[in-house]
Amino acid sequence: PTPSISCVSTPDPIALGPAPEPKEPKARTSPTPSGRATTVPPSHMSQQPPKEYYNALVQAVDESEQGNSKSSGASTKHSTHELAERSYLQLQMEEIQEQREELVRVRDMWLKEQQVHRKALEDERSRADHEILQQREELAKERRRFAAEMELQRQELVKERSQCQSDILAQRKMMEEHRRKCEARYGTMGMGVERPLLTAFGGAGPAHPVLLSPYFLRIDHEGPKFEALLQTTTDSADATLLIDPSDDAAMSVTTQQVMRDQIRNAQNDENMPREWANFHSASKREVLAQHVMDYLAQEFVSNGGAFNHENTAEVAEKLLELCEQLKQTLADPVLLRLTSPMYVMGDVHGNFEDLLYFMRNLVQFGHLQYTSCKFLFLGDYVDRGDWSLEVVAYVFAMKLLSPHSVFLLRGNHELHEVNGDVDNYGDTSFKSKCMELLGDELGEDVWVAVNFVFQHLPLAAVVDERVFCVHGGIPRYRGGPDNRMALLSDPEFPRFNSVMSQPTDNEERARFREMALDLVWSDPALAEEEPTLDQWGFGPNVGRDSEDILIYGEKAIDQFLREHKFDVIIRAHEAKQAGVRLCKGGRVL
């Protein structure tokens, strides 16, 4: 009978992983009817298919029993074939069993490896969780320590601020006492003074001492006064003023109320001729500007030298309207060419108290239209002071009210990267003041609008073709034809948002940007820095934050004044204790 064969299903080799190399199976013996063993080669050693292998096995058995096969007959031959078939099947079953055992062994080994790997991963995860927990604890400790340090610094700053306020009050008392003494000795002459001054010059020789704030320089059109100034002052002069005390009086006075009534009546007239449109538009601008100036002055005085805006939305609206009106009237070139008489004012930096004081003492009849002198501001209207927003509104209103007698130059604090530097200037930065007073949304709108106007302000001014006025300094020179003033007079001179060098600029635009940088940022060199300057008198400004900013010395000043026939340079950008100081042999004020 044919023996039963049980099929064994083998595991999936992919699930079990890579199988080890199989062992070399041993040769097996198959019994024969004669009782002798016949060696049967392993299946993998035979290259014959199963049927041929079976026939070969039968032939081998037949040959081994050849001696007895003749007598046994056909029945013996049939038994031999049956025995060979049974041996073959038994051999196949043994091989299948061995393969099964091998697969089971490989599976067990793979499971053990997986357990070891899983345990290693769990250990690694536990270690990482422990490290993260430690880091969190360290960060929490560091945060608490930092908060404690910040609180200590805040308390120290509060104490320092209180001390500064006390010192300022004491200084104000001393200055007020000094002012009263000066008035008692010399008389006021229509102007107050808060600091000691030297002699002013006028006419053919020295005039009597006059009292004028050292923050202002009066430029007169008469040349001998400049010559007398330069001949009699030295580098050690701390404050020298040039003034003609006999200013021309206003020709006529029209009350503000009458003027406003005329403007209002014209605006309400529907039959107004078209050719009057520009006049009435200008009148509307004047009303807006005068309203802003009157409001700021009244608010500041009524609150005892401070501002307490009840309607901040209206303040923002007026500021935005001022900026919009100035956008339509910004026609000043990059280089102004002006004539005397002229008042020149340096950095204001949010100091509305000084600004209002000077305007009340220098503006005749309380109105710019009746003032014989022009006003030139050298920049830096914002940052550091408490009232940057109000100062901007006031000087913008001045420019809008009298565009041909008020001129505003651009300083380095009229750059958005400076007046928006909250990290450096903190609560005193212009951007912080906008956000604090007007809120984030309106504050951002006002800050952007004001900086757009700043971007279009002139960079320098020449008075009477002899006085070069600028916020920072003169443009750098590298040899060859000196075309600096020609470039500055170019009507295509770009109005840069940022004056720092940009990799995308072409050669011409890079030169324009470099000139703008020098005009708003550079400083005169100190005496000890002169030997370090290059052959043209320029060198790196180690006192500033950027390597692009330069200083300029005696050689650079001599060459610039001689080449362009200027007498003196008037600049701001650096505070002087007496308000005004002459340096570089009286050539830089």
Instruction: Give catalytic residue positions.
Output: 413
Name the DSSP class of 588: B
Cα atoms found within 13 Å of the Cα of residue 321, Cβ hemisphere only: 15
- CB-CB contact of 462 with 484 (8 Å): no
Non-local (6+) Cβ contacts of 378 within 8 A are: 344, 345, 346, 347, 409, 411, 469, 470, 471, 570, 571, 572, 573
Q: What is the C-alpha separation between 524 and 550, in angstroms, rounded?
A: 9
Per residue, the 3-state secondary structure of 70-97, as one string, reads HHHCHHHHHHHHHHHHHHHHHHHHHHHH
Distance between CA atoms of 433 and 450, rounded to whole angstroms? 13
Closest Cα partner for 229 from 37, 538, 515, 466? Answer: 466
Alpha-carbon distances of 205 from 221, 254, 313, 586, rounded to whole Å: 16, 38, 55, 18
What is d(CA 32, CA 42) in angstroms, rounded to the nearest whole number?
A: 17
Contacts of 46 (CB under 8 A, 6+ apart): 53
Q: How many CA atoms lie within 13 A of 327 on its CB side?
A: 11
3-state secondary structure 508-545: HHHHHHHHHHHHHHCEECCHHHHHHCCCCCEEECCCCC
Q: Which helix (H) or strand (E) holds 381?
A: none
- For 151, the token pair is 């609180």
Q: Which amino acid is at 261?
A: D
Angle separating helix axes 388-401 and 312-329, nearest 10 degrees: 40
